[in-house]
Structure 1
Amino acid sequence: MEFRPLRMFVEVVRQGGFSQAAREVNATQSTISKAVKQLEDEIGVPLLDRIGHRSVLTTAGEIVYRRGVRLLADRDDLLAELDDLRGLGRGVLRLGLPPIGSSTLFAPLFATYRQRYPGVEVQLTEHGSDRLEESLRAGEIDFAGALLPTSEDFEVQLVRREPLVALLPPGHPLARRRRIALAELRETPFIMFESGFALHRVILDACRRAELEPKVVAVSSQIDFMVKLVAAGMGTTFLPRMIAQQRAGKAVRCVPLSEPGTDWVMAMVWRRGAYLSAAAQAWLDLVRGYDWGEPAELP
């Protein structure tokens, strides 16, 4: 089995279509279609059920996709390990970081790494934690900054635990409270992160436990924009304490949540059993030896 058609098939599934996959891998849609057809011919069964403009995985397609993701990741591990054995030292670190908290937590560490290993090429990917975990599982990156809890497929190095706070406009009735429960925000509109962010899931899970159906008035991936919406009186949003404190002031108030299970716990994660190149191991050693401030514990 050739890896190129398999990689294109996996990308079609991950991106949700042929045209999206073509944009992602910088190829034509015709090239993607031919690669998937080549894979289907080699296996001898259809992998996608084409219904109009949609393509749905067949039972065989689900098996090939699940196994294919692992095969591609193992191939990348194999090449990296052989390069190290030959002493080639590819010198590439593929790092995925989330927008929330990275500038505070990882920027100093990133700078230290670059100073110590100037010859290493750092390929940086920025997405929400959930999207980064997909990339990590597919072997596209070596490490991801992710919120706990996470998949048992990953090894975990804890970084930082922070309580979540609600950001409120100064005139809000609860803005002067020492702590608030989510249920007390029942009448307050929510400004949420996009669904690809783990913090989106954390808040919605907490709302379900509190039997609260939030009224979402805006969804964004831009922290500063969301804070401006709060300052304008549109509603409330939620951030880790250390991030919120950087933006607190006369325009917004930060009130800790009393809700259990809403701590923001950041970790550096990597695939369980994955081979770590010399460049990747150097990053992990730096993460493990770094002073992250407050001690972190498992939730």
Structure 2
Amino acid sequence: MELRTLRVFVEVVRQGGFSQAAHTVFITQSAVSKAVRQLEVELGLELIDRSSQRIRLTDAGEVVFGRAQTMLAQRADLLAELEEMKGLKRGALRIGMPPIGSDILFAPLFAIYRSRYPDIEIKLVEHGSRRLEEMVQSGEVELGASLLPFAEVFDWQDVTSEPVDVLIRDDHPLADSASVSLRQLADIPFVLFDAGFALNPIILDACRSVGVEPTVTARSSQISFIVELVGAGVGIGFLPRRIAEHRIRPGVRQIPVTDTGMVWHMAWIWRRGGYLSFAAKAWLELAAEQG
């Protein structure tokens, strides 16, 4: 059983299909299908239920998927540890960050880190929090920035906790309010982030806790576009306070929301008990120092 075959299988499950996985592992779709079939033949068990249009794991597939993630993470730990034996303060920092707020929160850290450790290569990926958690678990990245709450399989270091404010067009009757409640906003369409962004559940769970079921009129993965949609009167948007302060533009107001639960709490996470390279430890120390 080869680790690269397990990697292909893991990506088929994560990406939800053979063609999607092919783009991730940089081989053809037919090669992906062949690798999964070979793994099934080797194990003597079907891992994927092919009668379903969507990727659905068999019971055996669930076991192999869990074990494969652990094996791939252990391989990543081994390579990182061996790399450090070649020379202290060399190697790579494999780190994952979310699209929301990374430019404001972390860009200064990158500049300082680069000046202190010029021989460390930074390998950065951008994904939503839940995808980053998967990547940390599998060892694809050592550190990820994710939103609380998350599973107990992670250790973590606090980054920031920000209230989530509403963005509203400046000619709306509520625009001059010192603060608003979600019930006051209930009849206004919402402009949210795309599915998979961890900010969405924060907003929607807070709404449901006060009996509000909002109408979502638009979604986007881009902060600037959401702000423009708010300015155009399409609906209201939501951003963590510090992020909103940097992204607000004329014609749009930022107002605190009074409801509890509207908090964006971010932390650095890594696998509990997993190996942390010098590069990752140095990043965490710098983040704590600058925080």
Compute the TM-score of the two structures, normalised by the length of structure 1. Answer: 0.93
Give 5+ residue unaligned stretches, structure 2: none
Is the 8 Å Cα contact of residues 83 and 89 (structure 1) preserved in structure 2? Answer: no
The equivalent residue for 2:80 is: 80
Match of 1:268 in 2: 268
* Structure 1 residues 61 and 240, CA gap change in structure 2 (3 angstroms): same
Is 1:19 the counterpart of 2:22 in the alignment? no
- Whether the aligned pair in 2 keeps the contact of 1:109 and 1:287 (CA below 8 Å) is yes
Answer yes or no: is 1:222 the counterpart of 2:226. no
Residue aligning to 1:202: 202
Please report how far the alpha carbon of residue 90 of structure 1 lies from its aligned counterpart in structure 2 after TM superposition.
Answer: 5.5
Q: Is the 8 A contact 2:89 2:120 kept in 1?
A: no
Give the conservation status (yes or no) of the 8 Å contact 2:84–2:91. no
- What does 1:1-299 correspond to in 2, within 5 Å? 1-51=1-51, 53-87=53-87, 91-290=91-290, 292=291
Alignment partners' CA distance in 2, 1:271 and 1:280: 12
Segments of 4+ in structure 1 off by > 4 A? none
Superimposed CA distance per residue, residues 115-154 of structure 1 (whole angstroms, 9 cap, x where no aligned partner): 1111111111011222211211221111111111222111
Counterpart of 1:65 in structure 2: which amino acid? Answer: F
Q: Which sections of structure 1, spanning at least 5 residues, go unmatched? A: 293-299
- Partner amino acid for 1:112? I
Give the residue type in structure 1 aligned to 2:81: E
For residues 49 and 265 of structure 1, what CA distance do their matches in structure 2 show?
Answer: 38
Checking the alignment, whether the CA contact within 8 Å between 2:89 and 2:119 is kept in structure 1 is no
Give the Å deviation of 1:86: 4.5
Query: Deviation of residue 236 (structure 1)?
Result: 0.4
Would the alpha carbon gap of residues 52 and 129 (structure 1) be closer, same or farther in structure 2, given more than 3 Å must change? closer
Change (3 A) 1:90 1:261: same
**Any conservation in 1 of the 2:189–2:236 contact (CA below 8 Å)?**
yes
1:28-64 CA-to-partner distances (Å, cap 9, x unmatched) read 1121112111211221111011126544211100111
Q: Kindly, what percent of the aligned residue pairs are identical?
A: 55
Q: In the TM superposition, what whole-angstrom CA distance separates every residue of 1:218-251 from its partner, at most 9, and x where no partner exists?
A: 0001001100111111110100111111233531
Cα distance in 2 for residues equivalent to 1:236 and 1:153: 36
Structure 1 window deviating more from structure 2 (167-176 vs 43-52): it is 43-52
Letter paired with 1:155: D
Residue 56 and residue 249 in structure 1: after superposition, are their counterparts in 2 closer, same or farther (change >3 A)?
Answer: closer
**Alignment RMSD:** 1.5
Match of 2:145, as an amino acid?
A: G
Count of paired positions? 291
CA separation of 1:28/1:250 partners in 2, compared to 1, >3 Å: closer, same or farther? closer
TM-score, structure 2 as length reference:
0.96
Distance 1:213 1:141 in 2: 36
